Chains A and B, each alone.
Chain A
Amino acid sequence: MEDSNIIALFWERSEEAIAQTASKYGRYCKYIADSILHSEEDAEECVNDTYLRLWNSIPPEKPILFKAYIAKVVRNLALNRYEASHAQKRGGGAVEAVVDELDFCLSDPSQDGEEMENREALADLLDRFLGDLKPEVRKVFVRRYFYAASVEEIAESYGMSVSKVKMTLLRTREKLKKYLEKEGISL
């Protein structure tokens, strides 16, 4: 079923919308949740949360790119769940590894000044930064830092060696660091 038809079902308040979403994007949702949570049960609950969130948000929302919209919802829910369960015990997980890598991009990760303003600006800057990257580099970067995919999985997906993926990520992070410094983030 086309995304527009699924969204129409949501607007009609038909529960078939959930079934169609699950059928078309269930595995996709599960993949994202599992990449962050690394727990079968938590991921499944997170996916169910996603359906519920979609049900409650559409309408009034009318997403243009439904797949990306779902991805953002499930990612946010997974991160919330992850943070709740790891509030007392940080370190060692897959998300920590990703976050640690991104720490590198910030000159002074501990700095708190003007944080909120920076956060708002950060998403826009990231978007512009990604727009300047070559598509193949961008895909690797997004796969790692949006989907939290492992380096091995990225290598397999894009037919690259693990070392090449690592090198690509490192260079892109270095480039991002310079870009953010230039734009006045975390100076």
Chain B
Amino acid sequence: MKGQDLFEAMGKISDRYIEEAAPDEKTLAKNDSGKNVINISEAKRSSRRKWYQNPRVLGGLATAVALILLTVIVLPKVNLITSNGAQYASAPSHTKEGGSYNSGAEYKNSGVAKEEQDRQKSEDNVATEKATMAGNTKEEYEEEIKGINFGQYAAFPILSNTYGNTGTKHVSSIACVVDLKKEKSVMNVSYTTTLGQTYSAKSSSFSKQTLSSFLKSTDVFATGTNAPTAINWSSHSDISLSDLVGEYQIYGSAPVSERLTADLTLEEFLTDDDEEVIILVMDFQEDSLSYLVKRSTDPDVQELFEWYHDKCLGPP
């Protein structure tokens, strides 16, 4: 006698006990796919399917075909296209061939594509022009830019300006650093008021609780479907928020909403130089949320720095 026998014997208990414990309509509704056989002919057919009529087999075949097509045809052609025309491979590649901004070191990009190198050169030229216009020498400007790793970039406003907390209603933007590879590694680094003041998220009670609750309430991260339609920073929005959410899923990490409550100090984050990070800068308007997203390996992360520097701290 085994538990299996007992389980089978349960199938012979009194009808009244079965009816008594029957699930209610609410429970049944959860399980309902809405399909009902309506005549005996169909019941006969459906209950005696051939293998090729089995939805599971057909589903498996369809999935296999789709995967083959995806692998052979679609994936090699997928690129993310920025609004200013530059293209970047969608797959993160920094660990093997992508560049990274290391603390105090110049930008290295051993495996980067020629187009990107050309683009980097072009940006360097632009940077030189801007530096000259701002009254700095090219060397001074480059020294400033190249000395900034991603963590420094994010931390720059904190190090430069630390004011008091004025509450949330004046907040116009938030910079948020997201580490894709670590399970607990989300933090918002700074926020800026409509007056242009930038505050350290670390030292403010606003930082973790409010950002987290805001994102949860807007559900932007949870589904990726409530992304705002008005993108004020369209020139920077080369990765959509839904793409970002997709990246999380690809990395197999915890849900974003959980990450947003993760407790990681700025120091802990900055000492880990080797992780790829995404920076998400959000701009809160009265009735919309704008954002831009960059990878630490993006060649134009410097452009983002410049923008943020201009917006939050004034011209360099």
**Cross-interface CB contact of A130 among B3, B13, B33, cutoff 8 Å:** B13
Write out the residue numbers on chain B whose beta carbons fall within 8 Å of the beta carbon of A140: 21
A135 to B32, CA, bound (A): 27
Say whether, besides A27-B31, A45-B49, A142 and B20 are in contact (CB < 8 Å): yes
Contact with A along B21-36 (1 / 0, CB 8 A): 1111001110111011
B10 touching A41, Cβ below 8 Å = no
Tell me how many residue pairs across A and B have CB atoms closer than 8 Å: 181
Min CB gap B40→A, angstroms: 5
> How far, in angstroms, from A109 to B14 measured CA to CA in the complex?
25
How distant is B28 from chain A, measured CB to nearest CB, in Å?
Answer: 4
Q: A18-B39, A44-B35, A48-B47 are in contact. Are A65 and B5 (CB under 8 A)?
A: no
- The reply to whether B33 and A146 form a contact with Cβ atoms under 8 Å apart is no
**Cβ of B19 < 8 Å from any Cβ of A?**
yes
Alpha-carbon distance between A105 and B15 when the two chains are bound, in angstroms: 23
Interface string of B177-213 (1 = CB under 8 A from A): 0000000000000000000000000000000000000
- Distance (Å) between the CB of A113 and the closest chain B CB? 9
One of B1, B13, B46 near A126 (C-beta < 8 A): B13
B91 within 8 A of A: no
Q: Is B51 an interface residue (CB 8 A)?
A: no
Q: How far is the CA of A158 from the CA of B45 in the complex (A)?
A: 38
CB pair B1–A109 under 8 Å, yes or no, is yes
**Known contacts A67-B19, A142-B20, A122 near B5 by CB under 8 Å:** yes
With contacts A22-B37, A104-B3 taken as known, whether A79 is within 8 angstroms of B29 at the C-beta atoms is: no
Task: Name the B residues within 8 Å of A47 (CB-CB).
Answer: 37
User: How many angstroms between the C-alpha atoms of A100 and B6 in the bound complex?
Assistant: 10
29 contacts between A and B (CB under 8 A): A15-B39, A15-B41, A18-B37, A31-B27, A40-B33, A41-B56, A48-B43, A49-B47, A51-B40, A55-B40, A55-B43, A71-B22, A99-B3, A101-B3, A102-B4, A102-B7, A104-B3, A105-B6, A108-B1, A109-B3, A112-B1, A118-B5, A119-B1, A127-B13, A131-B14, A143-B21, A143-B23, A145-B6, A156-B27
Chain A interfacial positions (CB closer than 8 Å to B): 15, 18-19, 22-23, 26-28, 30-31, 34, 39-42, 44-45, 47-49, 51-52, 55, 64-65, 67-69, 71-72, 75-76, 79, 95, 98-106, 108-112, 115, 118-119, 122-123, 126-127, 130-131, 135, 138-140, 142-143, 145-147, 149, 153, 156-157, 185-186
**List of 3 A-B pairs having minimum Cβ-Cβ separation, nearest first:** A68-B15, A103-B3, A102-B3
